[in-house]
Structure 1
Amino acid sequence: MYLLCKYVKEKTDTTVIMSGEGSDEVAQGYIYFREAPSVEEGDKESRRLCKDISMFDVQRVDRMSSAFGLEVRVPFLDHTFTSYYLSLSPALRAPKKGIEKYLLRYSFDDTNLIPKETLWRQKEGFSDGLTTQTKSLHQMIQDFVEEKMTVSDLDGSNQQYPHNPPVTTESLYYRRIFEGFFSGQGHLLPYFWMPKWLDSSDPSARTLKIYKQ
C-alpha cells in the first residue's frame, strides 16, 4: 500500500482515491469465514472485526496515504451501508457455495458493471495479489528474513516482549524495527490479526488449507 500510494503521488495528478477497506469485515470477505462453525459465529466475528478495524486496516490506509498527501474514501465503511448490511439476517451474509462475500458479489451479478471473472474470483490478499501464484510476497519476505535472523533469535523473546510475543523470526524482525522507533509501546496493538477457526502461524491466506490455487 505504501508503494501504491507513492506511485499515485509521483505518477498522477490524483489526490483523492477510493479504497475497498471494510468490505471484508462487513461482508465476511476473508477466506476463513468459510470455516465459521455457524452463521451466528460468522456474524459475531464480522462485528468484532468492524469494531477493531481502526487499529488495523483503516489505520494502515490512513498512514500510508497521509505519507504522500493523499485522501482516501472508504465507501464500504459508510455508516448507512454498514448499518443496513449488518441489519440483514446473518444467514444472508454468510459465505455460500464456498464463496466468501457472496451476497455482495451476487448483488452485482448480471449488472454488467463488473466482469464475471473479476466479480466471482476468490478473495486474494492485497500483497499476495501483486505477486506471482508460485511465490507470494509473504514467502519473499520470509526468505529475506531468513538471511537476517535464525530461529535461535526467538529465544527469550517471550520475556523481552511479554505482550504479543513474536511467534516467528519474521514477527520478531518487525517487532525490533517497531521498538527501534516506539520503544515500550507494543501494547498499542491489542493483539495479532490472525485467521480464525484454522491453524496458521501466518496471516497470509495462501498458507490456509482452504485456499484454492
Structure 2
Amino acid sequence: ASMGMYLCCKAIHEQTDVRVLMTGEISDELFGYKYTDFAPSPEAFQEEAVKRIREIYMYDVLRADRCISVNSMEARVPFGDIDFVRYVMAVDPALKVNRYGKGKYLLRHAFENAPEGDYLPRSILFREKAAFSDAVGHSMVDYLKEYAETLYSDEEYEARRSRYSFAQPFTKESLLYRELFEKYYPGQSAMVKDFWMPNKSWEGCDVNDPSARVLSNYAASGI
C-alpha cells in the first residue's frame, strides 16, 4: 500500500496544483476490514477496533503522513475527527459486524437515500472494497513477490532472515522489504510494534500475508 500511495501522491504533486488531500484512513478501523468479517462475536469486533485505533499511528496513518508529506502536501482525515471516532465507537458493535453481505454497511448506508438523493453513485457507494496495493492492479504485488524469489535461494532466505530477532521476516518478500529498511534506517525497526496482520487467532484469518487478497472473502475485489 505504501508504494501505491507514494506514487499516487508523487503524481498529484508533479502533475497538479493540489496541495491538500482528503484521505480515508481510519474508516477500516472504525467500520471493519475484510478480515473483521471473521470476527467471532460483536465483542471481538469491538476489541479489534479498539486495538487498531490505538496502534494506528504506527501503521496506516504513519504511511499516509509520510507519503503525502514527502511530496509537499497536507492530509485531511475526516474519519479521524475525535467526535466522530467517539460516536462510532459508541455504536453497538452488533450493528457494525458484517451481517449485511457488504462490508462497512453502516457507513455506506449513511450516504444513500438522503432526501435530495444519494450522495454518491451507487456503483461507487456499493462497490467491493479493494486493498490499496491490489486496487492499483494485482500485477504490482505479483511482480514484487516474483522479484523477491529471484533474490534469495531457500538457504539464503533462512540464513538472512535469522539475523533479525525482532519482527523476523517470514517470506522472501518481507525479507526484501526489511533489508531495504535496514539499509536506510539501520536499527530502527523497533519503532513499529509488530507486523500489521489480520487477527490470526480468528478462524479464516490464520494467513501468512497482510493483504486481504489471501482471505476467502476477498472475491473479485481489486481485479
Q: TM-score scaled to structure 1, two decimals?
A: 0.93
What SS is found at the alignment partner of 2:132?
A: coil
Q: Is the Cα contact below 8 Å between 1:138 and 1:204 reproduced in 2?
A: no
Counterpart of 2:22?
Answer: 18
The alpha-carbon deviation at position 158 of structure 1 amounts to: 5.2
Structure 2 residue 59 is the aligned partner of structure 1 residue 56: yes
Secondary structure of residue in 2 paired with 1:14: coil
Counterparts of 2:132 and 2:106 in 1: how far apart (Å)? 21
Which secondary structure state, in structure 2, belongs to the residue aligned with residue 155 of structure 1? helix
Quote the offset at 1:157 in angstroms. Answer: 4.2
**Residue from 100, 104, 111 that aligns with 2:107:** 104
| 1:11-51: CA deviation from partner (whole Å, max 9, x where unpaired) | 111111100011001111x1111110000000100111011
| Residue 120 of structure 2 corresponds to residue 114 of structure 1 | yes
Kindly indicate whether the alpha-carbon contact (under 8 Å) linking 1:150 and 1:169 is maintained by their aligned counterparts in 2.
no
When structure 1 is superposed on structure 2, of 52-61 and 154-163 the one drifting more is: 154-163
Query: How far apart, CA to CA, are the structure 2 residues paired with 1:77 and 1:113?
Result: 21
Deviations 1:86-139 (A, max 9, x none): 1111111221223211111111122321111211122111121111xxx44321
| Higher relative contact order structure (alpha carbons within 8 Å, sequence separation ≥ 6) | 2
The one of 153, 172, 175 aligned to 1:172? 175
Q: Which residue of 2 aligns with 1:163?
A: 166
Q: Which amino acid aligns with 2:143?
A: M
Assess if the C-alpha contact under 8 Å between 2:161 and 2:175 holds in 1. Answer: no
The aligned length equals: 209
Matching residue within 34, 37, 41 for 1:34: 37
Distance in 2 (alpha carbons) for counterparts of 1:168 and 1:95: 31
TM-score normalised by L of structure 2: 0.89
Aligned to 1:3: 7
| 3-state SS in 1 of match to 2:72 | coil
CA RMSD of aligned residues (A): 1.3
For the residue of structure 2 that corresponds to 1:165, the secondary structure is: coil
CA deviation after TM superposition for structure 1 residue 192, in Å:
0.5
Runs of 4+ in 1 over 4 A off after TM superposition: none
- Residue type matched to 1:206 in 2? R
Deviation of 1:5 after TM superposition, in Å, equals 0.7
- Larger deviation, residues 58-67 vs 140-149: 140-149
- CA 1:136–1:98 in structure 2 vs 1: closer, same or farther (change >3 Å)? farther
